[in-house]
Amino acid sequence: MQSPKRLLEHFGIEDADLIGAGKESSAYRLKDNRVLKVYGNDASEERVDAEAAFYSVLAAADLPFEVPQVLESGRLEDTLYTIEKFLPGKTFEQLLTDDELLLETAVHELIKAPAHLGRIDLETGDYGHLFPEYAPVPFQAHDWRGFLAGVVKGTVERFSDRFGSVFANTADLTASFTEKLSDLQQAEKSFVHGDFWYPNVLFAQDGSISAVLDLNMELTLRGDWLVDAVSAAVFLRSGAEDLQFDLTRLSSRAFSAAYPDKARQFEVYSLYYAFIFFPYREEDGYLHEWCREQLQALV
Provide DSSP, the chain: ----HHHHHHHT--GGGEEEE-SSEEEEEETTTEEEEEE-TT--HHHHHHHHHHHHHHHHS--SSB---EEEEEEETTEEEEEEEPPP-B-HHHH--S-HHHHHHHHHHHHHHHHHHTTS---S--EEESSTTT-SS--EESSHHHHHHHHHHHHHHHTHHHHHTT-S-HHHHHHHHHHHTTTPPPPPPEEE-SS-SGGGEEE-TTS-EEEE----TTT-EEE-THHHHHHHHHT---S-TTSSS-HHHHHHHHHHHH-TT-HHHHHHHHHHHHHHHTT-TTT-HHHHHHHHHHHHTT-
pLDDT value of position 195: 93
The pLDDT of 28-51, averaged and rounded, is: 88
For helices 226-234 and 247-258, angle between their N-to-C axes, nearest 10 degrees: 160
**Domain 92-296 CATH superfamily:** Aminoglycoside phosphotransferase (APH), C-terminal lobe (3.90.1200.10)
Across the range 215-240, mean pLDDT stands at 86
Per-residue pLDDT at 237: 62
Q: Pick the more confident residue, 123 or 37.
A: 37
pLDDT in tens, 170-198: 999 999 999 999 989 899 999 999 999 99
pLDDT digits 0-9 by tens, 258-290: 999 999 999 999 999 999 999 999 888 889 999
Of 128 and 7, the structure prediction assigns the larger pLDDT to: 128
Distance from C-alpha of 159 to C-alpha of 140, rounded to nearest angstrom: 19
Residue type, 152: V
Q: Return the biggest CA–CA distance within the chain.
A: 58
For the domain spanning 5-85, the CATH number is: 3.30.200.20
Extents of the domains making up the chain: 5-85, 92-296
**Which burial class, exposed, middle or buried, applies to 161 when counting CB atoms under 10 A from its CB (0-12, 13-18, 19+)?**
exposed
Q: What angle do CA 193, 70, 125 make, to 5 degrees?
A: 40
| Maximum average pLDDT range among 224-228, 234-238, 249-253 | 224-228
User: Are the C-beta atoms of residues 215 and 55 closer than 8 Å to each other?
Assistant: yes
How far is the C-alpha of 16 from the C-alpha of 86, rounded, in Å? Answer: 17
pLDDT of residue 71: 93
Find which of 94-103, 227-236, 245-254 is predicted with most confidence, using mean pLDDT: 227-236
